[in-house]
Amino acid sequence: MKKPTFINFKILGYKLFISMMFLFYFDCSYARSTINTTLQQFIDNYRINNHLPAAVLSVNFPNNKTITVVSGTVQNESFINPNPKLVTPDNLFQIGSITKSFTAVIILQLESEGRLSINNTLADIAQQYGQFLPKNEYDAWKNISIKQLLNMTSGIFDVTEDTDFINILAKTPKRNWMPQEIIAYAYKHKPYFSPGLGWHYSNTNYNILELLIQTITKHSFEDEINQRILKKYSLNHTYYLPYQYPTNIINRMAHGYAYIDGGFSPPILSGSDMTYANMSAAGASGALVSNSKDVTRWVRLLFTGKILPTFQYNELLSVVCQGTDNTCRPGEPLSQNSHSEGYSLGLVRLYDPQWGIIWAYVGGTPGYYSAFMWLQEKNIALAMTVSATTMESKKILRSLAQAAKLI
């Protein structure tokens, strides 16, 4: 008589589990490999077609895993440097106005600590903490609120539109600037509109916020951004550097080149290497350097509610109309359901029929462009950095959106 066969279901179940895990791992590895290949082809084509020295793209997924692809070299090939080093994920780029989201968070943290309200006017702050603006500027701007500075509805002139200021920057790129010097150039010009009655992008707003933060905290803005954000959240490849870069930073920088058709128009020779320029003129408006991976980490921290209490987080995302189309009046508040392009506190809100709400920002300095996107419905952060300001690279956000379609 044939001996009956007994099935050990425990062993069979274990083997089945192992097999399923292997297949899952294989599928995930294959998917990651496919995405890597696709994104690598994209960044290579993007860099070559747009004649850029270097381009780096990072995608941070819901599991907080990041894919980074790089293309190009740290410097332009030249007779003096015929074989420049290849760019790596660890190289640093100026990220310009992405700095504004960091500045906005510091302001909102101070509000959560009871040290201010973003509805306070500059006169309210001066009364509580002392005068921090020169008399002429204070008299002209004292009724402007902190929120109006943050969301670009103050009407204050943008210092980067002052020709004299731009000419001095070009002639003395290594000069150290104080915020008071910068805002003095803006004061010479009439406001674009009365506070709250329009919208106009102005870097000067954030130079004023730098002074305000230093007045309230009694610390430098550099100390505040380091302690509150960069060190606290281990953004170990992001640095606030409003002065000449030290050697250890220069050695990590992807060199940035400014071209006359790239959105910046200082009187400099097209193609100039701007890596050694002093970024003190940008200050709290745009003096951060970072890499694309760290930027995606910052974006995820920002939009997953880990940086701010709920009340301040909702304030961060409160939006006003930019007036880019005829759907709303510039400066008017927008609802959460609005599809109009809007500006919040150092952030831009967009709408796409495929992706829904998208939060984004572009940073630009002479020699560098950077951009990020937060795909709210997909819980995915993307960031791209490039090392030249050209006619093509200033469209970086559009290119980042093309990359988003590949994942």
pLDDT tens-digit profile of 320-350? 999 988 899 999 999 998 999 999 999 999 9
The separation between CA 354 and the C-alpha centre of its own chain, rounded to angstroms, equals 23
The separation between CA 393 and the C-alpha centre of its own chain, rounded to angstroms, equals 16
pLDDT for position 267: 64
Each residue's pLDDT tens digit, 212-266: 999 999 999 999 999 999 999 999 999 999 999 999 999 999 999 999 887 776 5
Alpha helix positions (H), 114-240 = 122-129, 135-141, 146-150, 163-171, 179-187, 204-217, 221-225
Contact predicate 73/179, CB 8 Å? no
pLDDT for position 157: 98
* pTM assigned to the model: 0.91
pLDDT for position 265: 60
What's the mean per-residue pLDDT of the chain? Answer: 91
pLDDT exceeds cutoff 70 at 31: no
pLDDT mean over 186-209: 98
User: What are the φ/ψ torsions at residue 42 (nearest 5 degrees)?
Assistant: -60, -50
pLDDT exceeds cutoff 90 at 176: yes
Contact predicate 203/117, CB 8 Å? no
pLDDT exceeds cutoff 50 at 396: yes
- Considering only CA atoms, which of 389, 377, 302, 401 is closest in space to residue 346? 302
- Considering only CA atoms, which of 390, 395, 406 is closest in space to residue 69? 406
- How confident is residue 6, by pLDDT bands cut at 50, 70 and 90? very low
Q: What percent of the chain has pLDDT over 90?
A: 83
- How confident is residue 10, by pLDDT bands cut at 50, 70 and 90? very low
Each residue's pLDDT tens digit, 156-169: 999 999 999 999 99
Domains of the chain are 54-404 (3.40.710.10)
pLDDT for position 266: 59
DSSP characters for 38-88? HHHHHHHHHHHHTT-SEEEEEEE-TTS-EEEEEEEBSS---SS-SSPPBP-
Residues 6+ apart with CB under 8 A from 27: none
pLDDT for position 319: 98
pLDDT mean over 299-305: 93
CA distance 269 to 260: 8
